[in-house]
Structure 1
Amino acid sequence: MSPSIDPESIRVVPMTLEQAEDITAWRYQAPYDVYDMVGVGPDELLDPEAGLYSVMAGSTLIGFRSFGPDGQVPGWDYDASALDTGGGMRLELTGQGLGRAVVLAGLEFGRARFAPPAFRVTVASFNTRALRTVKYLGFERVGTFNATRGARNFHVFVRAEHRKGEDAPPRA
């Protein structure tokens, strides 16, 4: 875990133009460069239909979360049984143990804002850190496919949301 970031301070908030400009400039090393937002303008991130939000630790932008179609990868037959969610973290913070706290903050935000019956994530098969995180957080793999663009292999995971009175999934 990054010593300078308190996991309790992580929260999801509406994205500002300055944050969108910052995020669109992030560039990852291969093979994570598939997550670069090359050709995406900051205004596209701010479009409410995009469903993108900033992840903050105190007053510092550390990542983003998406809710809806942005979390979908062409090639899978998505349906309305779950809310798709995805996201990214600032390059220098990846691999430091913050993933669980960031995803949990996203799930808490998504639960409060959208009240979905389940969450769904689509993760590239090479992304071992993300795969480990979503499995730890109770997501179950429901399928694997090759994307229609780039032919990369992806796994689809779902985590059912439990309602009051039901057994809750384990928390990190």
Structure 2
Amino acid sequence: MSRPSPTSLQVVPLTRAHAVDICAWRYDPPLDRYDMTGADPDGLLDPSAGFHALVADDVLVGFRSFGHDGRVPGWAYDDTALDTGGGLRPDLVGRGLGRPAIAAGLAYGRERFSPAAFRVTVASFNTRALRVVESLGFSRVGRFDATHDGTSFDVLVRPEAAC
């Protein structure tokens, strides 16, 4: 598939085919820590997991998640913001789709959940992702080391009342 148009990105319900596809994604280092190969497709399909497909012209290009999936063990999360996360299909990483993909997720999350704020947790080494979320109005509120592997993460928040 050629580069999807940023204006064609839509967040839609996750299907079993989407979940199986996502669970086969492998990224190049250092992004390989985001590989979904250990995930269970049925786990992604559980509504409480908060996963949604990101498509362009009905083709899966990524996913967005809302809720606990966006949390990394080691931070004192609270309910003052809706946690959101996501990923792009590995062959689309670095092709300028990060900002429109996250923006599409925020628009969907705003419409569906009406949060007071959004929160993202981003690996500190992922400077490209940090630049993207900051360009979307997120501000860093802290940094911590994950309890499961010691990786450093930044936590960023974007109040919705200001947008």
TM-score when normalising by structure 1: 0.92
* Alignment match, 2:67: 68
**Amino acid paired to 2:124:** S
* Alignment match, 1:156: 155
Q: Distance in 2 between matches of 1:45 and 1:31?
A: 24
SS in 1 for 2:137: coil
Assess if the C-alpha contact under 8 Å between 2:140 and 2:157 holds in 1. yes
**Amino acid paired to 1:32:** L
Kindly state the Cα deviation for residue 44 of structure 1 after the two structures are TM-superposed.
0.6
Unaligned segments of structure 2, at least 5 residues: none
* Alignment match, 2:122: 123
CA displacement 1:98-148 (0-9 Å, x = unmatched): 111000000000001100000000000111110010010000000000000
Q: Distance in 1 between matches of 2:97 and 2:39?
A: 26
Determine whether 1:96 maps to 2:56. no
Assess if the C-alpha contact under 8 Å between 2:53 and 2:64 holds in 1. yes
Determine whether 1:84 maps to 2:83. yes
Q: Distance in 2 between matches of 1:4 and 1:95?
A: 11
* Alignment match, 1:31: 30
* Alignment match, 1:11: 10
Assess if the C-alpha contact under 8 Å between 2:43 and 2:49 holds in 1. yes
SS in 1 for 2:33: helix
Assess if the C-alpha contact under 8 Å between 2:70 and 2:85 holds in 1. yes
Unaligned segments of structure 1, at least 5 residues: none
Question: After TM superposition, which residue ranges in structure 1, 4 or more long, deviate above 6 angstroms?
Answer: none
Percent of residue pairs bearing the same amino acid type: 58
Q: Distance in 2 between matches of 1:3 and 1:14?
A: 23
How big is the alpha-carbon RMSD for the aligned residues of Structure 1 and Structure 2?
1.3
SS in 2 for 1:116: coil
**Amino acid paired to 1:62:** V
Larger CA deviation: 27-36 vs 80-89: 27-36
Kindly state the Cα deviation for residue 4 of structure 1 after the two structures are TM-superposed.
3.3
Q: Distance in 1 between matches of 2:3 and 2:122?
A: 27
SS in 2 for 1:28: coil
Determine whether 1:142 maps to 2:147. no
Determine whether 1:40 maps to 2:9. no
Kindly state the Cα deviation for residue 3 of structure 1 after the two structures are TM-superposed.
6.3
TM-score when normalising by structure 2: 0.97
SS in 2 for 1:134: helix
Number of aligned residues: 163
